[in-house]
Structure 1
Amino acid sequence: MKRTTKLAFAIAALISLSGCFGRTPVDDGFRDTSVPLTVTTRGTAADLAGPWHMRAHFPGDRSLALVTFIENLNGAPAVEFLRSDCLLSGDCETSAEVWRSAPLGQNRYRLTNGSGDSFELWVIWVDEGFRTAAIGTPDGSYGWVLDRKPTEGEDRIIAAREILSFNGYDTLRMIQK
């Protein structure tokens, strides 16, 4: 076989194999939606209640610092997103946004804001002690690793990232806080 033919064959083989080594997100999301998305059967909404610190996220959620699941806000469950943005000057601004939460099934919710915008939020995985959670959306627009503490528990953070990867998320694009 000629050297150029061998080189062309090797390049073609590498191109073919490259698809086996990573998932490609669909529609510019962060998840390959051809991979089935799982949801944990562990726990209830009451187990999720309270504040969760953002430990890893995808680009676009840099300012999201805290996600709080609220069991009852004016008669309905809700989720509060606390954002913290800091300017180069050192001035920081914090804002909170509350979304109504409607259960779609165990550990699956439709969140809706006051403007009528909505999205689904799924609890993909949570550890036994409800300290760390992998949260995502079926369309792959969001994927988060949340934890009850802003530091520690690195083994659980790694496990949550692995679960997101198993569910089609491109965790190489995740940003760890």
Structure 2
Amino acid sequence: MLKHVIGAGMGLLMLAGCGGGPTSREGSFRDTGQPLSVTTRGNGMQDMGGPWFVRGYFPGDGGLAMVTLLPDLRGQQAVEFRNEACLLSGDCETDTEIWMAKPLGQNRWQLNREGEAPRQMWVVWVDDDFRTAAIGTPDGSYGWILDRRPEGGADRLRAAAEILNFNGYDTSRIKVR
């Protein structure tokens, strides 16, 4: 099962039009009857702030390349999503979206963007040094494995996948980069 998560690389993204932000185009990726945990490690946006590379994702978020937590964007917390789509010709496009982040508790936020349905984002797990994180949502509409670096850290990526699995996610569906 974890061999699907670690050890596979992704070539060119062959996406013509990818949406931004936390969305699911294929329903829930987790058993919502199972409780979703949230880490108590760290100080929320302060420790999680900054850019994260999307190293693992579920179908529908294939163009999501970076997630940046912004602890202070004009006096508010926010999350920036950067999507990239590359065609076989090598032409690539980048799109960014900012979602305002209303704290719901430690390491949990409600994400809001005008014209979009609100979403929740939970830090399910993060390693001691805040290098790798597992991100989920109670409704299971998306989940990510984030890392501060675009490569390496296989042991931490494996741990993040195991935590998502423990929290009811179908990790056989994770795509990795």
The 3-state SS of whatever aligns with 2:39 is coil
**Gaps (5+ residues) in structure 1?**
1-26
Which residue in the other structure is 2:64 paired with? Answer: 64
> TM-score, normalised to structure 2's length?
0.83
Which residue in the other structure is 1:42 paired with? Answer: 41
Which residue in the other structure is 1:109 paired with? Answer: 109
Which shows bigger deviation, 110-119 or 162-171? 110-119
2:145 is the counterpart of 1:128: no
Which residue in the other structure is 1:11 paired with? Answer: none
Amino acid at match of 1:31: R
Amino acid at match of 2:172: L
Once the two structures are aligned, what percentage of the paired residues are identical? 58
Equivalences, count: 151
Give 1:90 shift.
Answer: 1.3
Which residue in the other structure is 1:146 paired with? Answer: 146
Q: Which has the larger radius of gyration?
A: 1
> TM-score, normalised to structure 1's length?
0.83
Amino acid at match of 2:42: G
Greater RCO (Cα-Cα under 8 Å, separation 6 or more): 2
Matches within 5 A, 1:1-177: 28-44=27-43, 45-177=45-177
Give 1:70 shift.
Answer: 0.2
**Gaps (5+ residues) in structure 2?**
1-25
Amino acid at match of 2:33: S
The 3-state SS of whatever aligns with 1:71 is strand
